[in-house]
Amino acid sequence: MEKALKACPFCGGKAELKQAHYLESELPYSYVHCMNNECALHHNTAHFSGESEQKNAQNAVTAWNQREQIPVPH
């Protein structure tokens, strides 16, 4: 299911898929972030939720690889 992740568009670092649950609703969500903890995309990345965990993960991977919904640092 998971595709290989492209390198971070900001720092060129390795990216990683994470899965978690919202505290309030316990809904699962997925996101891809940069593993470089000094990079803007380490903490600040889009969440994907509302579907199965597998679909959320797939959406997060696809968006990351297409460079969509990646926040721009200010």
Which positions touch Zn ion (CB under 5 A)?
A: 8, 10-11, 13, 34, 36, 39, 41
Identify which of residues 39 and 70 has a Cβ nearer to Zn ion in the complex: 39
Cβ 8 to Zn ion, closest distance in Å?
3
Q: Which of 38, 37, 30, 40 is nearest to 9 (CA)?
A: 40
Identify which of residues 8 and 57 has a Cβ nearer to Zn ion in the complex: 8
Identify which of residues 41 and 70 has a Cβ nearer to Zn ion in the complex: 41
What span, in angstroms and rounded, lies between the C-alpha atoms of 64 and 23?
A: 24
What span, in angstroms and rounded, lies between the C-alpha atoms of 70 and 47?
A: 10
